[in-house]
Amino acid sequence: MKKDIALNRRSFLKSSAVGVGALAAPAIISSKALASSGELNFTGWAGYDKLSAEVIPAFTAATGIKVNFKELPDQDTMFGEAKVALEAGGMDMTEPTIERVGAWNSNGLLGAWDPAKLAMDNYLPGLADGSAGERSRIDGNLMYVPSNWGTESLVYNKESAKLGEPPSLGALFDPANQVVLRPHSALAAMGRWLDAQGKLPFPWTDGYSDMGKMTQLWDIALAEAIKAKGNVVQWWSGENEANAGFTANGATVGLCWDSTGFNLRNDGYGYMAPVEGAFAWHQGFVLLKNAVNVDQAHEFAKWVSTPEGASMWATAFSSNPVGKGASELMDPDVATYYNGTFNDEALAKLWWWPTQSAEFLTKRAEYADKFKAA
């Protein structure tokens, strides 16, 4: 399969360091944005307290634009809310991951961004151009702009987790471990683990572009995952549930976001990539088709691409920034954590979520539901 996004965390930090002197002038907030309603209806991720407490107030202070922030636990819920908002209004922009853009657009939910109202040169190489830039555009229209990126990998109890040698996705299905899982990610992990052992009739990634192969591959992954389901102590769909799987329910291993590993880093837990490679995600902003506060939405997306905005956004998510010069401004605890998380080999093996059509996502949800209900 063609690699969708050719980038890694270390190249981001290096390129941001050398790119500071080449930064475009700080984005100027347009008078048109300030002269209109001065408000923005933004629906984003729950479980990241700094967004409400620090980041959004900083944007308002810089622009005068008030943000009405609605928090939701996951992007499936965001998708459902966006479908309602298409008729009822009340949502201008939200923040899915790049592989969902085609599905959102095919459901008639998205409007196009105007690159002239953004600052596309602010972004680090590989995030808004190259193959990522191609995935961000549909029929020549810019439908998505990046906000942050990160990984989903093994969070583990340093004393009691059984990870194998080398550490593998198979640890998630080892009865010696107690695990916390997101259902659809767990099935993908099973598929990738089986694929690495040569136990699938087709490469796992073939199932993301061919629905016939998808059902064959996911039938196998589901059957094998159900056999190992007895070690699941917590399902998660958002950050708070993932944390609780460890702190309240005693999980020893989980397949979770890097932010979960960061939150638990001082409590005896580590975060590492499996030998098969960590899952990697690319998150960004989409504009709703019936958005009312369009100029304000552009100012918001543009601000998050600046060094200040990108650093604050990434720090809030305990993730990686999208703007040049942002890493130098980030919370030192976050920067230190990410610089020490994966070595060069692990970064080179990142597995970026492939593009997922609306048909694929519907079918994937059915498999996830079967896994939970089994």
DSSP, residue by residue, 152-208:
EEEEEETTT---TTTT-GGGGG-TTS-EEE-HHHHHHHHHHHHHHTT-SSS-GGGGG
For residue 88, what pLDDT is reported?
95
Q: Are 246 and 157 in contact (CB under 8 A)?
A: yes
Residue 160 domain-assigned (yes or no):
yes
Give first-to-last CA distance, the chain, whole Å: 32
Same-domain check for residues 19 and 106 = yes
For residue 126, what pLDDT is reported?
86
For residue 36, what pLDDT is reported?
44
Number of domains present in the structure of the chain: 2
Q: How far apart are CA 341 and CA 273, in angstroms?
A: 9
Residue 3 domain-assigned (yes or no):
no
Same-domain check for residues 164 and 70 = no
Q: How far is CA 100 from the centre of its chain?
A: 11
Same-domain check for residues 287 and 274 = no
Same-domain check for residues 175 and 241 = yes
- Strand-pair category, 279-288 with 232-235: unpaired
Same-domain check for residues 222 and 80 = no
Q: Are 72 and 44 in contact (CB under 8 A)?
A: yes
Residue 193 domain-assigned (yes or no):
yes
Q: Is 290 helix (H, G, I), strand (E, B) or coil?
A: coil
Same-domain check for residues 238 and 228 = yes
Q: 281: how many CB neighbours lie within 10 A of its CB?
A: 18
Same-domain check for residues 246 and 182 = yes
Q: Which domain holds residue 133?
A: 9-149+282-348
Same-domain check for residues 127 and 232 = no
Q: Are 138 and 355 in contact (CB under 8 A)?
A: no
Please state, rounded to an integer, the average pLDDT across all residues of the chain: 89
Same-domain check for residues 202 and 311 = no
Say which residues have a Cβ less than 8 Å from residue 253's Cβ, sequence separation at least 6: 154, 155, 156, 157, 161, 162, 163, 171, 172, 174, 177, 178, 179, 180
The list of the chain residues with pLDDT below 50 reads 1-36
Residue 38 domain-assigned (yes or no):
yes
Same-domain check for residues 208 and 265 = yes
Residue 119 domain-assigned (yes or no):
yes
For residue 311, what pLDDT is reported?
96
* Residue 82, domain CATH: 3.40.190.10
pLDDT in tens, 107-134: 999 999 999 999 999 999 888 998 899 9
Residue 4 domain-assigned (yes or no):
no
Q: How far apart are CA 212 and CA 191, in angstroms?
A: 15
Say which residues have a Cβ less than 8 Å from residue 184's Cβ, sequence separation at least 6: 364, 365, 367, 368
Closest CA to 135 of 124, 146, 125, 151: 146
Residue 216 domain-assigned (yes or no):
yes
Same-domain check for residues 15 and 60 = yes
For residue 124, what are its two tokens?
């680090």
- CA 81 → CA 75, 77, 94, distances in Å? 9, 6, 10
Residue 1 domain-assigned (yes or no):
no
Q: Which amino acid, residue 187?
A: L
Same-domain check for residues 229 and 362 = yes
